[in-house]
Structure 1
Amino acid sequence: MLFHDVTPGPHETQLRFRLIHFWEAWNPLKKTLIGLEMLLIDEQGSVIQGFIPPSRIERHLPKMKSGSLYKLNNFYGSSNKTVYRVSDHAVTMSFSWNSELSVLEDSPTPFDEDRFRFHSFEDFQASCDHKGDLCYHTHHL
């Protein structure tokens, strides 16, 4: 399955991707861990946001390294958040209770290294009052 085929709901299939970057998401008011957010790219260059709930981080984090290739069996497609989005895709790929993450060895298909660029604080500040997304459409650089 490719990212453009991911829809809301459970999926008992396999995704293959490069893990571009991951980070912890915290609730700043309650000082609690929301989960692990990820930015992923598939073999067609499509980018999707990934999410691991706090209860599943310990199981998967030891295998995770930015830039590495993975295959994931079983996941849940959830509607993308309207704020703090990091990809254009309407769905976030969330790890579910039966998700199995493993390193993808010897992929016959090349995966792009990334498809994002950094923006300055001034770029974001200039867009913050437009009541739209602060994420930019992805482009090959």
Structure 2
Amino acid sequence: MSSYVLLANLRAGRCSNTAEVRLLRFWEARNVRKDGELMSLDMLLLDEQSTLIHGSINSSRVDTFRRRLSEGSVYSLSGFDVARANPKFRLSDSPVSIRFNDGTFFEPKTDSDKDIPTELFRFRSHEQLLALANTNRELPDIVGEVSSVRSTITDGLRGPQRVMVTLRLEGDVNVCVSMFDDRAVTFHTKFDEHVSEPRVILFTSINPKVVGGKLYLNVTSGTHFYFYCETAAGKEHYEK
């Protein structure tokens, strides 16, 4: 029987030990230069010590694991590969990442006695976002109060779809979150279906860019957006 391992103790190589993790989020990573060809299914995993780690399933194995994935569920994970984390577009502070292989065991664990947090975000201040802009070093999370929403979908304009959300961050600083094409449509649909216009929105995995001296926060394939009532962090910001 394999022994238990914490995510913070992982080292590069094949790991036969067992970890218990919560699947926070997952998404498809596609190659926009090859007509959106699927490259991998990426995810963020969290354990009871609040260690966050990036996991990845190669496109050839996606069909094997996709049906098992449920955001928020706890899993037993073993038989995976541990590799050095990519220094670009980092999604966690861990020096390593997890890669699924043909022998990886990843099954829901309904009787877990581990106290694993249900959410974890890597928020950055306006100053930190400016420092990260155009570096592609990491993809942080943000939460703020909605000042305005502009949408080419609402305006009925032809061509590429775009949604721009102006958020007021702590310190009373406004930033612009930009979404394009399918990400714009997904956000617009959720926003439009909401009973009342959300006052607070949380965005994950955004890519800060400075263009013409102005800070833009571009969504990525890994970006999830949550309205204030959907996360404890968003609700806390709303109630301030």
TM-score class normalised by the smaller sequence: 0.7 to 0.9
More helix per residue: 1 or 2? Answer: 2
* Structure 1 pair 23–118 and aligned structure 2 pair: CA distance change class (3 A): farther
Q: Distance in 2 between matches of 1:82 and 1:41?
A: 20
Q: What residue in structure 2 maps to residue 96 of structure 1? A: 101
Q: Distance in 1 between matches of 2:62 and 2:120?
A: 25
1:1-141 equivalences in 2 (<5 Å):
1-30=5-34, 31-117=36-122, 124=129, 127-129=132-134, 131=135, 133-136=137-140
Q: Distance in 1 between matches of 2:132 and 2:123?
A: 15
Q: Distance in 2 between matches of 1:90 and 1:35?
A: 20
Q: Distance in 2 between matches of 1:118 and 1:25?
A: 22
Structure 1 stretches of at least 4 aligned residues deviating more than 6 Å after TM superposition? none
Deviation per residue, 1:72-129 (Å, 9 max, x gap): 1200001111222100101111101100111112111211011115679xx7566314
Identity %: 30
* Structure 1 pair 125–32 and aligned structure 2 pair: CA distance change class (3 A): farther
Q: Structure with the greater relative contact order (CA < 8 A, sep ≥ 6): 1 or 2?
A: 1
- Aligned-partner SS, 1:29: helix
- Residue identity matched to 1:133: R
Q: CA deviation at 1:133?
A: 2.1
Q: Distance in 2 between matches of 1:19 and 1:4?
A: 16
TM-score (norm 1): 0.85
Contact 2:81/2:98, CA 8 A, preserved across alignment: yes
Aligned length: 137
Q: What residue in structure 1 maps to residue 158 of structure 2? A: none
Query: Radius of gyration: which is bigger?
Result: 2
Q: Which moved more, 1:18-27 or 1:107-116?
A: 107-116
Q: Distance in 1 between matches of 2:132 and 2:110?
A: 41
Q: What's the RMSD between the two structures over aligned residues?
A: 2.5
TM-score (norm 2): 0.52
Q: CA deviation at 1:135?
A: 3.7
Q: CA deviation at 1:134?
A: 2.8
- Residue identity matched to 2:104: S
Contact 1:14/1:71, CA 8 A, preserved across alignment: yes
Contact 2:124/2:140, CA 8 A, preserved across alignment: no
